[in-house]
Structure 1
Amino acid sequence: MTLAQQFEAAFGAAPALIARAPGRVNLIGEHTDYNDGFVLPAAISVETRIAAAPRSDGRIRVLACDFGGAIAEWKLEAPYAADPAHPWADYVRGMTAAMIQRGHALAGADIAMTGNVPKGAGLSSSASLMVGIGTVLAALAGLSIAPADIARMAQAGECDHVGMRCGIMDQLASAAGVASHALMIDCRTLDVRPVAMPEDVQILIVHSGVARGLVEGHYNERRAQCEAAAAAIGVSALRDADMAMLNGAGLDPLTLSRARHVVTENARVLAAAEALAAGDLRATGELMAASHASMRDDFQITVPAVDALAAELQALIGPEGGARMTGGGFGGAVVALCRADRTDAVLGALTYRKPDGTAPLVLRETACAGAGLVMR
């Protein structure tokens, strides 16, 4: 059944609205967002779709089409509380709580949601869901909320309620994506500058088969290490540091390596945005390779399977393009940029297999538009 049909079967009437919110792939700039730095993501075609209709009793009912048709329900004014029986609903609860905390008067709603963003791949399935929820609830309530503000609330919902101390990149890329463009985002000012993708370049995303678990893993630990480095240097965030400051601060070797990744990664993002805009795939590929090495050696967030996949893709693509891990780390996917006329040959020659011995999931992507309504 379609999403609208599943909604009607569950709630007895057709939805009033359907919204979409894309996932995103980060071309370069990992763990720089929560350090007030720079990132270069693109919204992609995999997405979450949200169907909704208003309720008059101030309640939220959510149908998870991808979780066996499970339904969670709560009152909008109730304090946020995690739902162990329906952990997927925590993201919806977190988004509604963040919107209410910012003074938005929401109506109750029946909601059905489905998506095809691969889970655990580093493609922002959670941000896509929360941005989609924010988009559809704002529309139901007749609110006009800027994409950057939807993104801020989605970030707050995930940080303050779900427990993932994420930056703003994922949510802003999903909310404000521009078709055929990457987004050069200043994570301090939230300034977004579209960067045109060369027409003959294909985005490849290959999932390593190693699922990520960022809340349970080391993501929050890395953030704390970066904050400790900034405090020791005397800056508000590592965005304001340079290598001379790091080398002169007397940091312990581990903290120094974490901070060095962020400082050098910010420089790589700025350079990659210029190279991509100029169609210089050779320079872009070199920067992607350096980014992966920094994540592996300084930030220590890659795993051997991801390292092997990135190395093989880079070798197959050659100098006109590049490959690197994308996402928060500890598993997930590799993103690659490749000349479109080389894509079939690269994928045909790829020998990488997931840990279970099967072929990896491969997405051929282009940069897509950000969240919005697809049906009123």
Structure 2
Amino acid sequence: MVDPEDLAREFERAFGRSPRLYRAPGRVNLIGEHTDYNDGFVMPMALDRSTWVAAAPRDDRTIVARSREYGETMTIDAGTQRPQRPQGRHWVDYVRGVSAVLSDVARPFHPSTRSGCPEPVEGQGREIRGADLLIASDVPIGAGLSSSAALEVACGYALLDLANRPIDLVQLARACQRAEHEYAGTRCGLMDQMIACYGREGHALMLDTRTLERRWLPLPSTLRVLVCNTMVKHQLASGEYNARRADCEAGVRVLAQRFPGIRALRDATLAQLDAVRGELSDQIYRRCGHVIAENARVEAAARALGDADFETFGRLMDDSHRSLRDDYEVSCAELDAMVAIARGLGGVYGARMTGGGFGGCAIAVVDASAVDRASREIEERYESASGLRPDVWVCSAGEGVSAWRLAEALHHGEALHHGEALHHGEALHHGEALHHGGHGGHGGRAL
């Protein structure tokens, strides 16, 4: 785990002055996989593992970014980097992209109008100033826990605050999504950035990725969520993620010709998909079928959670994994083994892969009384089956992005809850602007 006191002192040694501290969490998605870029429903929860940024402003436009994990220091010019065709992802591409999108050389980000695809509109941005950044994270990289969005959101929040700009969390999430599209080459949906901004302790988030309507779902104290890292890293940059998005968009084009009201798979039913099956390849049919059915599973899972019907919730998780394995084809042998092991244990309601797939993590929803035994057995059985020692831990639903006062980080570890405003002491609640108190949820509303 990152110790903010150590991070602050490391920053002081490296840069010769005291920093401000910021953090944004990773996430797991309980259900609703590969639906966000199809305007669908998702149910993520923020992790209690985060990316931390110690930061201080500079007098120029230079950003000096140092990564503890990679042991690298990179220098970029804030806001002057135009997108180029990504040749491969590097951690600093996320920092470069966020600074450019938030700066005056990038156009402000407009809500999506088609299938979760970011569409910039003309307008005037405001300058991002230079900064020294020291980045550290305890979100596993390449494990499907959204380490990239945690990095984007933490850095974006820090850069906005250092530039004395008001922080609207919806627009921050959109800017970070656009940075990932244009600078890292992954055409992600908005879920990861939204949960990094809007996580709430003890809750999952039911998010409509078209309207950005949000409902926080309390997680019962009798349940635990196990994160089970297969130790096989996924590689979204390989193009498989983008290929599946292209399949979905191809399916929408066919559906829209027959049913003009369909703008995204969110709008389609399985009956409508069956009606055009002869016009689709088998692969596109199965990809679209997963998304349409998965949207229905998310809504059913929210009802089951509200009714404390954990058996139904678990069954929906199991159905989700089978669909991701067989129809969307984003699982792998290690994920399938992990899920099968977890699902066969007493006290486990359901298990599934989480994240983009092709490796990374599975999750299991477990009765609290069985979680210790389940953790041990998953570790032992998976290692025996795969030869890999997994990282298995009980995760708690954490808070979204926040700023920390240095004195509190050093002595008490208390966060400015989405900023008790860093400069004016204004109490903020889940996304009010850090300096001006404006509501951070423009573009979406709470359910």
After superposition, the Cα gap between the structure-2 partners of 1:316 and 1:281, relative to the gap in structure 1 and judged at 3 Å, is: same
Please state how far the C-alpha of 1:277 moved relative to its aligned partner.
2.1
Contact 1:60 1:111 in 2 (8 A): yes
Tell me whether 1:5 sits opposite 2:32 in the alignment.
no
The answer to whether residue 102 in structure 2 is matched with residue 75 in structure 1 is: no
Q: CA deviation at 1:108?
A: 1.2
C-alpha deviation, 1:349, in angstroms: 2.2
Moved more, 210-219 or 73-82: 73-82
Instruction: Assess if the C-alpha contact under 8 Å between 2:98 and 2:156 holds in 1.
Output: yes
Q: Residues of 2 paired with 1:128 and 1:348: CA distance?
A: 29
Deviation at 1:286, TM superposition (A): 0.3
Cα drift, residue 79 of structure 1:
2.2
Contact 1:177–1:369 (Cα < 8 Å) also in 2: yes
Equivalents in 1 of 2:313, 2:161: separation in Å?
39
Structure 1 unaligned regions, length at least 5: none
Q: Which residue of 1 aligns with 2:39?
A: 36
Match for residue 173 of structure 1 among 182, 195, 199: 195
Cα distance in structure 1, aligned partners of 2:102 and 2:352: 35
- Residues 79 and 99 of structure 2 are in contact (CA less than 8 Å); yes or no, is this contact kept in structure 1? no
In structure 2, give the amino acid aligned to 1:57: D
Whether 1:242 aligns to 2:269 is yes
Matched residue type, 1:98? V
State the TM-score, normalizing by the size of structure 2. 0.81
> Is the contact made by 1:354 and 1:360 (CA closer than 8 Å) also made in structure 2?
no
Residue 116 of structure 1, aligned match among 138, 142, 162: 138
Seen in structure 2, the aligned counterparts of structure 1 residues 81 and 36 have a Cα distance that, compared at 3 Å, is closer
> Residue 370 of structure 1 corresponds to which residue in structure 2?
400
SS at match of 2:399: coil
Counterpart mapping for 1:49-198 below 5 A: 49-68=52-71, 70-80=72-82, 87-100=90-103, 101=106, 102=108, 103-198=125-220
Q: Secondary structure at the match of 2:238?
A: coil
User: Whole-Å Cα distance in 1 between the matches of residues 13 and 386 of structure 2?
Assistant: 37
Pick the aligned partner of 1:309 from 338, 358, 361. 338
Distance change in 2, residues 1:260/1:36 (3 Å): same
Matched-pair contact (CA < 8 Å) for 2:58–2:130: yes
1:267 matched residue in structure 2: 296
SS of 2:237's equivalent in the other structure is coil
Distance 1:281 1:131, change over 3 A: same
SS of structure 1 residue aligned to 2:52: strand
Q: Is the 8 A contact 2:89 2:237 kept in 1?
A: no
Cα distance between partner residues in 2 of 1:79 and 1:106: 12
CA contact (8 A) 2:318 2:351 kept: yes
Task: Give me the identity figure in percent.
Answer: 42
Q: Which residue of 2 aligns with 1:276?
A: 305
> Partner amino acid for 2:390?
P
Cα deviation, residue 348, structure 1:
2.3
User: 1:358 is matched with which residue?
Assistant: 388
- Residue 276 of structure 1 deviates from its aligned partner by 1.3
Letter aligned with residue 35 of structure 1 = N
Which whole-Å CA distance do the structure 2 matches of 1:194 and 1:270 have between them? 13
Residue pair 2:146, 2:192 contacting (<8 A) in 1 also: yes
SS at match of 2:335: helix
Cα deviations by residue, 1:7-46 (Å, 9 ceiling, x for unpaired) = 112211111x100100000000110000000000000111
Note closer, same or farther for the CA distance 1:53–1:65 as it changes in structure 2 (3 Å cut): same
The question of whether the paired residues in 2 share the 8 Å contact of 1:209 and 1:355 is answered with no
The residue number in structure 2 matching 1:285 is 314
Range with greater deviation from structure 2 (124-133 or 73-82): 73-82
Q: Is the 8 A contact 2:89 2:184 kept in 1?
A: no
Q: 1:121 corresponds to which letter in structure 2?
A: A
Name the CA shift for 1:80/1:2 in 2 (closer, same or farther; >3 Å): farther
Partners of 1:170 and 1:258 in 2: CA distance: 21
Length-normalised TM-score, structure 1: 0.95
Give, in whole Å, the separation in 1 of the partners of 2:274 and 2:351: 29
User: CA contact under 8 A between 2:338 and 2:382: conserved in structure 1?
Assistant: yes
How many positions carry a matched residue from both structures?
A: 373
Tell me the secondary structure at the aligned position of residue 202 of structure 1.
strand
Structure 2 residue runs of 5 or longer lacking an equivalent are 109-124, 257-261, 406-421, 423-447
- Deviation sequence 1:89-139 (CA, Å, 0-9, x none): 111001111112221321211111100101111000000000001111111
Secondary structure of 1:258's match? helix
Contact 1:208 1:354 in 2 (8 A): no
1:21 to 24, 27, 40: 24
Deviation at 1:150, TM superposition (A): 1.1
Shift of the alpha carbon at 1:245? 0.9
1:218–1:355 distance in 2 versus 1, CA, 3 Å: farther
